[in-house]
Structure 1
Amino acid sequence: MKSSSLDTMEETKFSLHEHLRKQCLELTPDGSFVRWTRDNPKHPRNWPILRKTYDTGLICVLDLFITASSTAGAAAAAQAKHEYHLDHTFATFCFVTLFLLGQSMGTIVFPPWSESFGRKRMYIFSSGLSCVCCLIIGLVRSLSGTIIMRTLAGLLSAVPGTIAGGSIEDMFNSQARIWVVFFWTVASNIGLIIGPIMSSHITEILNWRWVFYTYAIILGGITGLLCLIRESRSSYILTREVNQMRSEIPGIPPPLNHDHSPDLRTFVKEALFRPAQLFFQEPIIFTIAMMISVAMSIIYIFTEALQPIYQSMGFSASQASLIFMAIGLGTCISTLTRILDSHIFKQRRLQGKPIRPEDKLVGLALGAPFLAIGLWWFGWTIPPKTPGPNTPWIVPTLSLVLVGYALTEMDTVLYGYISDSYLSYSASATAAVAFLRGMLSGVFPLFTNQMFNGLGANIAISVLAAVATVFCIVPPLFLCYGERIRQRSRFARYSWEIQEEMGKDEYDI
């Protein structure tokens, strides 16, 4: 009788394994949970390349235009201030600063829930509501309505910024992510650059309200296309698959799923306390947060300062906005550094050496001095203190190519260094950086006019160049002492131990 019972159990177990195998699933070694097999075609990393290209490409386009809507606020504010009878600083606060302050709040609010509700819903939610916000801003004749919608749009803009990296991790292994993350960063930075160009031309041809109508149309179209992407959160897909199987076949264990919907206590601990703790206790995070925040704020400073500088050379407002294309050219040149990175990684693999986070800092070592050189060059080749009375406009403009290259390198490399150094804590570390970046980007434009009018354009740019020169100390410090700092950090030590234990990149799944 006992033997018969054991036989039945063995048959049931065999049948369960066979059924899971047909679905390209398997049990964990202890038999408690169901997990993916490495060749499961439903796992996002095994999707066809066309599917991955469509999904990641559309997510990058969403981030591009939502980011562009942030820098578009400066040109809109310059015209809207007359309609609402505002001074320049308060108009900038309403159209630029509030958006970025809302974005800072969004970096805290959304990440704790992004792993639980799936990626696709969050993208559609962000894009759709952002479209509505832009439409309302264009339609309402009330400043209070504009303030509310601009702040809400900023809050929603944090969704692609905080989730896109997760979607890329869902679909691509570590080697492929080098390029995909780079393309995402380029898309986001191009968004910063085309915002002033689009808005300047739209306000000149039509009026400031059409800036927001245009973004409403674009985001509405993107929202429709987002309905065609697939959910990429692997644990979310697995849970859905296994729950369907469990409703049909009893006895199947639950899926292996570490996601959860945070309660208030968890939210306070993980979303509020931990990013602040990392910022104040981790030298790496503090340094990176300051570098990225100040460097990327330069774009928002330029949305206020660049056009008046070139208008003093005889450009119109819309012509002056095209100078941002020089920064965009520098952004694209960063492709060469990614090729160099790939060569370095290949050589280390051939030599059987592990790839450390510090091995990915070549772009920072180039970008930091280029930013300082570019700003010093720009600061002393623009009016009124140009090298000569007939200095052509192309001379200072070429320096902005270096600035664009440097900003992209710092953005790409430093965020990547956080991810590699802090692993399971990288989301909290990134939230700390993104929060400070949003705050400074929102605050700097408020005193840009006063700074440039009071000091003069040459001295004002020189102040930024001096700060960038101080940043040149960071790359050699990270290269020489980064590993030691990580070993001593209770947050980064886990990453270091995994690196020492595995001695190689992560598995494909």
Structure 2
Amino acid sequence: MQPVSSESSISTEPKASILELLHEHYLELTPDGRYVRWLRDHPRHPRNWSGLRKGYDIILICLLDLIITASSTAGSAAAARAKYEYDMSATLSTFIFVTIFLLGQVAGTILFPPWSEAFGRKNMYIVSSGLSAICCMVIGFARSMPLIIIMRIVAGALSAIPYTIIGGSIEDMFNAHARIWAMFYWTIASNIGLILGPIMSSYIIAGLDWRWNFFIFAIIIAGVTGGLCFIRESRPSMLLAYEVQRLTDATMLSIPPPLNHDHIPDLNTFAKEALFRPAQLFFQEPIILVIAIIISVAMSLIYMFTEALQPIYELMGFSETTGSLIFIAIGLGTVLSTFTRVLDSYILNHIRSQGRPIKPEHKLFGLGIGGPFLAAGLWWFAWTIPPETPSPWIVPTISLVLVGYALTEIDTVLYGYISDAYLSYSASATAAVALLRALLSGAFPLFTRQMFDGLGNNVAMSVLAAIATAFCIVPPVFIFYGERIRRASKFARYSWEIQEELGKDEGDW
């Protein structure tokens, strides 16, 4: 989408005076002289905000994603108890409390990311958080199952906001090097949320009631909402428009319009050009399609584990609540990914010291480790659990540390690759991945029990391990041929052209 031209773009004032005025305010004209864009050192560009400012915003946004993600996996424990109150089958209860939430997330991934690219991010975070708290509270009080279903769908749609547009916020604020850590903090927060949900819900429900599960999440999310009121809008195109308007109002000069590739003149244009952008990316971009399949299958394992792990460990003598603590092993593996991020940072510093430009493919080392680790961890777990191999509980649990490490590497590296390859439109690219991930995450728990009961624990886990093994071919393809594939991608190439027009230098800014 090209910027909308304006008849007033050629000022009646002397061009030299306009240029001087713009430079005084850290702005400049594009090479064709038709639009205003940022100067590299503009203090109000999100890339130039203080570390404290960026830190506050990204911590609050990641915390929101952590809590809302935890509320999604907490649905399994709630479903296990609510089925008795409403006299439902286990599958129907799981569908209502887990799958419907994730189907709502599918709808949210289509609508909200392109909206954030066109109209900004801050208000969307606040709306998502505040309304999610209300949904949780209503579910806790509701006695009507139709009302619970509606609230769970709405909550799922709202959950798509933090999950899918955080990648865009990170790209707004951080350069290529800093995004390594920013993306890592986000994926750590999101994955910890997946792991924390089953543990929290098991103990809350055991001590109180399944409805208190939602009351407590409502209270926590409401607290996060208050903190989000103090974050800043980070969409550079919106902030540039504010800067140009402020300068025009102050000087009364006819200043050219801001360069805005996100400009949406009306809702009709939004529907035609932006609303279906995630679907367009999913079906037209091979990079997005492959990444979506890998991330969706890998991260859906957590939702399968919410149904499968506790029964497996109950066979080894664990209770229902203590069985949920096994998720801590996956969390430990998540934290161990810190060492890979240190290695990534070393690699990029070495490349920069040689005067070479940093490319998205330079950050794929962790993917090369994560793929084989996931396959190895799942094969290890598959054949050290009962009934075929009744090992001491610690033996299969160690393998879950490898699985947690691998899942975090896959999540962090591939989402980071999306952010680097698609830049300004990374929110829509992330949404394309999130759409399939939400669909599979919602579907997997519906057949997990039947799969494990029908095939047996060992064979069922072996099927998952075999799929993970097949994925091991993807890392070397991306590492060695990723740049060639990316350059053949129309949308990825266009995203980098936009960055050049905006005056961004991905190496240092």
TM superposition score normalised by structure 1: 0.91
Q: Which runs of 5+ in 2 are unaligned?
A: 1-11
Q: Secondary structure at the match of 1:355?
A: coil
**Aligned amino acid, residue 364 of structure 1:** L
Which residue does 1:385 correspond to in 2? 388
What are the Cα deviations for residues 298-356 of structure 1, in whole angstroms up to 9, with x where unaligned? 00000011111111111111111111010011011111111111111122222333333
Q: Is the 8 A contact 1:271 1:428 kept in 2?
A: no
Unaligned runs of 5+ in 1: 1-7
Contact 1:193/1:328, CA 8 A, preserved across alignment: yes
Match of 1:183 in 2: 185
Which residue number corresponds to residue 4 of structure 1?
A: none
Deviates more, 1:130-139 or 1:409-418: 409-418
Which SS does the other structure have where 1:259 is aligned? coil
Q: How does 1:54-93 map to 2 (within 5 A)?
A: 54-93=56-95
Secondary structure of 1:315 counterpart: coil
- 2:165 corresponding residue in structure 1: 163
Q: Is the Cα–Cα contact under 8 Å of residues 199 and 211 in structure 1 kept in the other structure?
A: yes
**CA separation in 2, counterparts of 1:140 and 1:20?**
57
The residue aligned with 2:5 is none
Q: Deviations over 1:119-145 (max 9, x none)?
A: 211110000000000000001111111
Closer, same or farther: CA 252–505 of 1 in aligned 2, 3 Å = closer
Instruction: Deviation per CA, 1:473-507: give whole Å up to 9, x if none.
Output: 11122233333333444444557899999xx9616
Report SS of the residue matched to 2:128.
Answer: helix
What amino acid is the match of 1:297? S
Residue type of the alignment partner of 2:320: A
Match of 1:302 in 2: 305
Partner of 1:5: none
Residues 24, 191 of structure 1: CA spacing in aligned structure 2 closer, same or farther, 3 A cutoff? same
**Is the 2:168–2:424 contact (alpha carbons within 8 Å) kept by the matching residues of 1?**
no
How many angstroms apart in 1 are the aligned matches of 2:146 and 2:454? 31
Partner of 1:263: 267
Tell me by how many angstroms 1:92 deviates: 0.3
Supply the AA of the counterpart residue of 1:440: L
Assess if the C-alpha contact under 8 Å between 1:355 and 1:505 holds in 2.
Answer: no
Q: Look up the match of 1:150.
A: 152
Deviation track 1:370-403 (CA, whole Å, cap 9, x = no partner) reads 10111111111111112x5xx3211111000000
C-alpha distance in structure 2 between counterparts of 1:231 and 1:441, whole Å: 31
Distance 2:425 2:240 in 1: 24
Aligned amino acid, residue 289 of structure 1? A
Largest Rg, 1 or 2: 1
Kindly state the Cα deviation for residue 212 of structure 1 after the two structures are TM-superposed. 0.5
Opposite residue 275 of structure 2, the aligned amino acid is: A
* Counterpart amino acid of residue 379 in structure 1: A
Structure 1 window deviating more from structure 2 (473-482 vs 20-29): it is 20-29
**Which residues in structure 2 correspond to 1:433-452 (within 5 Å)?**
433-452=433-452
**Offset, 1:409:** 0.6
Partner of residue 7, structure 2: none
Q: Name the CA distance, whole Å, in 2 between partners of 1:25 and 1:422.
A: 25
Q: 1:477 to 1:171 in 2, by over 3 A?
A: closer
Residue 364 of structure 1 is matched in structure 2 by 367
Structure 1 match to 2:282: 279
- Residue 117 of structure 1 aligns with which residue? 119
State, as a whole percentage, how many aligned pairs show the same letter: 67
3-state SS in 1 of match to 2:163: helix
**CA distances 1:235-261 after superposition (whole Å, capped 9, x unpaired):** 222322332333343124133333223
**Which residue of 2 is the match for residue 478 of structure 1?**
478
Matching residue's letter, 1:79: R
Q: 1:290 aligns with which of 293, 298, 303?
A: 293
Are the aligned partners of 1:168 and 1:181 in contact in 2 as well (CA < 8 Å)? yes
Query: What amino acid does structure 1 have at the position aligned with 2:432?
Result: A
1:315 and 2:315 aligned: no
- Equivalent-residue separation in structure 2 for 1:500 and 1:364 (angstroms): 28
Bigger relative contact order, structure 1 or 2 (CA pairs below 8 A, ≥6 apart): 2
Q: Secondary structure at the match of 1:256?
A: coil
Give the match's secondary structure for 1:115.
Answer: helix
Q: For the residues of structure 1 that align with 2:185 and 2:324, how far apart are their CA atoms?
A: 24
Written as runs of structure 1 = structure 2, the 5 A alignment for 1:333-352 is 333-352=336-355
1:258-311 Cα shifts (integer Å, max 9, x gaps): 322363354245433x54444344433322211111100000000011111111
1:3 equivalent in structure 2: none
The residue identity in structure 2 corresponding to 1:59 is I
- Does residue 1:410 correspond to 2:413, yes or no? no
1:75 partner SS: helix
Between stretches 188-197 and 252-261, larger displacement belongs to 252-261
Say if 1:495 and 1:52 are closer, same or farther in 2 by CA, change over 3 A: closer
Superposed counterparts of 1:422-461, under 5 Å: 422-423=422-423, 426-461=426-461
**Against the structure 1 CA distance between its residues 9 and 144, is the aligned structure 2 distance closer, same or farther, given a 3 Å change threshold?**
closer
Between 403-412 and 430-439, report the one with greater CA deviation.
Answer: 430-439
Query: Which letter does structure 2 place at the counterpart of 1:370?
Result: F
1:70: Cα distance to partner?
A: 0.6
TM-score by length of 2: 0.91
Instruction: Determine the C-alpha separation between the residues in 2 that align with 1:29 and 1:122.
Output: 34
Decide which moves more: 147-156 or 256-265. Answer: 256-265
Equivalent residue number for residue 233 of structure 1: 235
C-alpha distance 286-43 of structure 1, shift in aligned 2 (>3 A): closer
Q: Is the 8 A contact 1:45 1:508 kept in 2?
A: no
> Given the superposition, is the C-alpha separation of residues 239 and 495 from structure 1 closer, same or farther in structure 2, using an over 3 Å criterion?
closer
2:385 alignment partner AA: I
3-state SS of 1:247 partner: helix
Supply the AA of the counterpart residue of 2:93: A
How many angstroms apart in 2 are the aligned matches of 1:119 and 1:140?
Answer: 31
**1:205 to 1:363, Cα distance in 2 relative to 1, 3 A:** same
Q: CA, structure 1 residues 495+38, in 2 after alignment: closer, same or farther (shift >3 Å)?
A: closer
Report the Cα distance in structure 2 between the residues aligned to 1:287 and 1:79, rounded to whole angstroms. 37
Q: Determine the C-alpha separation between the residues in 1 that align with 2:289 and 2:260.
A: 32
Structure 2 counterpart SS, 1:35 = strand
Task: Give the 3-state SS of the residue equivalent to 2:118 in structure 1.
Answer: coil
Cα shift readout 1:41-72 (whole Å, capped 9, x = no counterpart): 22222222111111111111011001111101
Aligned residue for 1:100?
102
Matched-pair contact (CA < 8 Å) for 2:74–2:200: yes
Cα distance in 1 for partners of 2:38, 2:363 equals 31
Contact map agreement 2:168 2:426 (CA 8 A) in 1: no
Residue 386 of structure 2 aligns to a residue whose secondary structure is coil
Distance 1:227 1:498 in 2: 30
What is the letter of the counterpart of residue 375 of structure 2? A
Contact 2:176-2:358 within 8 A present in 1 as well: no
| Cα distance change on mapping 1:383 and 1:507 into 2, 3 Å | closer
